[in-house]
Chains A and B, each alone.
Chain A
Amino acid sequence: MRVVIRFFLSLRTAIVFFTAFMAIAVEGSSSLVKNLAFFSGIDDTPLFQWLMESDAFRAAWWIYAMIFVISLLAVNTVFCTADALLKKAGLKKLLLKLSPEIIHIGVLLIMLGHLLTASMGFKADMVINKGESRAVAGSAAITVNDVRMKTDAEGYAQDWEADLQWSDASGQSVPHVLRPVHPLYFGQFGVYIKAVTLEPEPSVQVRVCRDLGAPWALAGGIVLSLGCVTLLMLRLQRGNG
């Protein structure tokens, strides 16, 4: 047991995991390119669902390896953070002293966010013509009332928007003008506009998703940013680092 604890408390272990992660990422980036068709659907469903459905360990082994290394890194981070917290408790300027641990907690929250995103949630991409409705996640529906697009002199799309109506099983109906980077959030669902076309008939491409990991990842991002800034203050104040 002591050997395991010492292993996970070591900075050397973290370096080994970092290196392993990077090696796997290099392999992954080349694998993504070599198996473009196979990986084309990876971003359309939650990761774990895609891994189970695609059932191709040979092409996607590096994702399993990445998850494994990230999990080990998470354990390493928990051990180092706990150890540092126990040692540093009671010191003055606690926030500044604990900034590396705040960073680690932020990273852990982001990992948790990714875990939830990969294992749960809902994603659906759909093309809806003007005047038509599409069912979403069983109990809701989207109706597209109008589609508009603005182009520049050379014909490039400059902006687009769609008037749509979100209705759910309870009878609630929400009208909304959907624009790029202005999604519609309704309950746990988010609706995003991808593109619009006016020919042969006006239609809009939308993504509907429910991402349970996003709030955790955002919380992790905020904690990580705070930790980073305090760490920077501490180190720069110290002078030579």
Chain B
Amino acid sequence: MFCSAGADDTRELLAVLIPLVPAVLYSLGLMEGRKGRYFFFAGLLCHLFFVAVRGITLETIPLTEKHDTISFMAFSTGLLFAYLSLRHDLKGSSLIALPLISTILVIAVFHKPIDTIAPLLRTPWFYIHSFLFFGSYGFFGVSFCAGLYFLATRDRDFESLQYRTALSGWVMYTVALIVGSVWFYIAYGTYWIWTPRELWTTLAWFYFGLYLHARMMKGFFGIPAAGIGVAGYAVLLFAYFGVGTVIPSPPTQF
């Protein structure tokens, strides 16, 4: 009994410490020049290793509970930012992106990992939904960074990057919601339920729809649209973190 409790404590401690390693490496990525870049990519590799370990523990894709989904949210943001940084000069936007990625990863640490997978989640539809949904957060995260950098510097390239990443994220989010509806239908016999979580998820979709439409209008293009897009990330984060804490939402039921 004593040994088992000790093993549990060690596992819980490791679950906290392991994600902190990539978080620290991401933060060190703020260093100037090549050294910073090496730390960032080392953080990404370390994070990938951590995701893989969770996958091996669960014996499936680790996207079934908050600890893993938040970690994946940070990973997808980091991966996209890394990819874009290889293709474009992202200048000082890493000053926004890297602290954001680290912060999201630290938030994951506050959620205890759960190793039991509910039977209603065991379908490829759920995993595809979850992958696209939290992958889209990566696009929206990079869009937020680009938008904020544009607002600070007025560099037009970043306004365009903000739009393209937001559009890609919105497309991914849309497909995620559709696939999620299919999963929900085969699991619960309905594709919509009236809970604050579903309402806020839809609201976030409409919000980015509004941003994409507003950007096409005279008077909105540029700073106003960028501001709307940047605020959209807050809406998105609230839809995931705020609902259930600030606004109580019952767990998914029939």
What is A's interface to B at a CB cutoff of 8 Å? Answer: 11-12, 14-15, 18-19, 21-22, 25-26, 28-30, 32-33, 36, 39, 42-44, 114, 117, 123, 125, 152, 154, 156-160, 179-183, 190, 192, 194, 207-209, 211, 214, 217-218, 221-222, 224-225, 228-229, 231-232, 235-236, 239-241
Tell me how many residue pairs across A and B have CB atoms closer than 8 Å.
Answer: 143
Interfacial chain B residues near A160, Cβ < 8 Å: 119
Decide yes or no whether B69 CB sits under 8 A from chain A.
Answer: no
Quick check: is B226 within 8 A (CB to CB) of the other chain? Answer: no
Task: Say yes or no: A194 contacts B254, CB within 8 Å.
Answer: yes
Per the bound structure, the CA–CA distance linking A16 and B225 in Å amounts to 15
Rounded to whole angstroms, the CA-CA distance of A122 and B171 in the bound complex is: 33
Residues of A within 8 A of B209 (CB): 18
Q: How far is it, in angstroms, between the C-alpha of A36 and the C-alpha of B181 when the chains are bound?
A: 24
Can you name the residue of chain B whose Cβ is closest to the Cβ of A190? B189
Bitwise, B121-141 to A at CB < 8 A (1) or not (0) is: 011011000000000000000
User: Contact at B206–A224, with CB atoms within 8 Å?
Assistant: no
The segment from B12-20, B78-86, B195-203 found at the interface with A is: B195-203
A239 to chain B, nearest CB (A): 8
Whether B200 lies near A29 (C-beta < 8 A) is yes
B158-178 interface with A by 8 A CB criterion: 160, 163-164, 167-168, 170-171, 174-175, 178
Known: A29-B243, A207-B189. A12 touches B217 (CB 8 A): yes
- A182–B249 Cα gap in the complex (Å)? 27
Write out the residue numbers on chain A whose beta carbons fall within 8 Å of the beta carbon of B175: 225, 228-229
| Chain B residues, CB < 8 A from A209 | 189-190
Q: Does B193 contact A (CB under 8 A)?
A: yes
Q: CA A11 – CA B218 in complex, angstroms?
A: 10
A180 with B116, Cβ < 8 A, contacts A14-B213, A117-B192, A217-B181 known:
no
The verdict on B247 contacting chain A, using a C-beta distance below 8 Å, is yes
Taking the closest CB of chain B, its distance from the CB of A67, in whole angstroms, is 13
Residues of B within 8 A of A11 (CB): 213, 216-217
Give B198's nearest chain A residue, CB to CB: A29
How many Å from the CB of A185 to the closest CB on chain B? 10
Which residues from chain B sit less than 8 Å from chain A, CB to CB?
116, 119-120, 122-123, 125-126, 160, 163-164, 167-168, 170-171, 174-175, 178, 181-183, 185-196, 199-200, 202-203, 206-207, 209-210, 213-217, 243, 247-250, 253-254
Chain A contact residues: helix, strand, loop or mixed: helix
Q: Is the CB of A207 within 8 A of B254?
A: yes
B80 to chain A, nearest CB (A): 14
Smallest Cβ-Cβ distance to B163: which chain A residue: A241
Quick one: given A32-B196, A157-B119, are A43 and B190 in contact (CB under 8 Å)? Answer: yes
Q: How far is the CB of A22 from chain B (nearest CB, A)?
A: 5
Query: Which residue on B lies nearest to A159, using beta carbons?
Result: B119
Contact B189 A211 (CB under 8 A): yes
Contacts of A208 in B (CB 8 A): 189
CA distance A159 to B116 in the complex (A): 11
Q: Which of B123, B160, B163, B191 has the most CB of A within 10 A?
A: B191
Chain B contacts of A154 at CB under 8 A?
Answer: 116
Does the CB pair B206–A21 fall under 8 Å?
yes
Known: A18-B213, A192-B186. 14 other contacts (CB 8 A): A11-B213, A15-B210, A18-B209, A22-B203, A29-B247, A32-B194, A33-B196, A36-B250, A43-B253, A43-B254, A194-B188, A211-B185, A240-B160, A241-B163
Q: Tell me, in angstroms, the Cα distance from A180 to B170 when the chains sit together.
A: 30
Asked whether, in the complex, the Cβ of B168 is within 8 Å of the Cβ of A232, the reply is yes
The 6 closest A-B pairs by CB, nearest first: A29-B196, A221-B178, A180-B119, A18-B210, A192-B189, A228-B171
Minimal beta-carbon separation of A56 from chain B (angstroms): 14
Q: Within 8 Å CB of A211, what residues of B?
A: 185, 189-191
A29-B200, A30-B247, A207-B188 as given contacts; A235 in contact with B194, CB under 8 Å: no
Given contacts A159-B119, A180-B119, is CB(A218)–CB(B182) below 8 Å?
Answer: yes
Q: Could you tell me the distance between the alpha carbons of A26 and B204 in the complex, rounded to whole angstroms?
A: 11
Cβ of A190: which chain B residues have Cβ within 8 Å of it?
189
